[in-house]
Amino acid sequence: MTSDHDNNEPRRRTGGRSARVMDAVAEAVLAQLSTNGIENFSIPQVAARAGISNSSLYRRWPTKAALIAFAGGRQAQSSIAFPDRGSLREDLLFVMKEVAQTFKDPRSRALIAMAFGSVDSTELDQTQGTFWKARVEQQRAMFDRALARGEITAATDTAAIIERAVGPLYFRYFVTRRPITTPFLKKLVDFVLSRADLP
């Protein structure tokens, strides 16, 4: 929905057979989530889709939570980058544009559906917790750069910045169904940073 993001193709990773297997597993996980949801998610079916043995899959990802978190993290890495744009404001604006763009990707929508699912279970809580912990780790580099520039302090609540910046995107796209434009994103970034505990 952003005006300057017209290419919906996901980024391609390079690598050998191991990378291809990882991609196949991630794709199989997201396909399973799209088809069956987390309630009927099956690790053996993921193995069959990915073309690998059950034992290989269980050896690397022994739980459903670990497997879904891996797939979510790999999908996020392929679709949301955290490049150095020279300032926290520009870094955050870029990330928010990328987040809005991923809403159009069916694979990302499967993970979003999981996050907003109505099922209340320990397994779902564990899966979501593992996934979002991985996402926070991916964002760390952006805030490390901001800390080095003196734009934030060690006491700055970076998790709150992300929640306040990204939360409205989900609400605008999925609830009110209003367009996510670049002017809207710029105003939102400025508002979020104005409320943060910055130097």
Q: What is the pTM assigned to this prediction?
A: 0.65
In this predicted structure, the answer to whether residue 118 has a pLDDT above a threshold of 60 is: no
Q: Where are the alpha helices (DSSP H) in the chain?
A: 17-36, 43-50, 54-60, 64-79, 88-102, 106-115, 122-149, 158-170, 182-195
For the domain that residue 191 is a member of, what is the CATH number?
1.10.357.10
> Which of 64, 76, 72, 75 lies closest to 126, judged by CA?
64
| The residue count for the chain | 199
> What is the pLDDT averaged over residues 129-134?
66
In this predicted structure, the answer to whether residue 179 has a pLDDT above a threshold of 60 is: yes
Contact 38, 112 (CB under 8 A): no
Q: How confident is the model at residue 129 (pLDDT cuts 50, 70, 90)?
A: low
Angle (nearest 5°) at CA 190 between 164 and 81 = 65
The pLDDT assigned to 3 comes to: 45
User: What are the pLDDT digits (tens) for 11-47?
Assistant: 444 456 788 898 899 889 888 887 887 778 889 999 9
The pLDDT assigned to 122 comes to: 66
Question: What percent of the chain has pLDDT above 90?
Answer: 39
Answer whether residue 7 is part of any domain: no
In this predicted structure, the answer to whether residue 9 has a pLDDT above a threshold of 50 is: no
Q: How confident is the model at residue 6 (pLDDT cuts 50, 70, 90)?
A: very low
The pLDDT assigned to 12 comes to: 46
In this predicted structure, the answer to whether residue 89 has a pLDDT above a threshold of 80 is: yes
Separation of alpha carbons 87 and 91, rounded Å? 6
Answer whether residue 51 is part of any domain: yes
User: Which tokens in the block code for residue 61?
Assistant: 């990802």
The pLDDT assigned to 146 comes to: 95
Answer whether residue 5 is part of any domain: no
Answer whether residue 10 is part of any domain: no
> Which of 66, 85, 60 lies closest to 142, judged by CA?
85
User: Which tokens in the block code for residue 134?
Assistant: 């991985």
Answer whether residue 61 is part of any domain: yes
Answer whether residue 55 is part of any domain: yes
How many domains would you assign to the chain? 1
Separation of alpha carbons 136 and 169, rounded Å? 17
Domain that holds residue 41: 17-195
In this predicted structure, the answer to whether residue 125 has a pLDDT above a threshold of 60 is: yes
Separation of alpha carbons 154 and 3, rounded Å? 35
Answer whether residue 136 is part of any domain: yes
Answer whether residue 4 is part of any domain: no
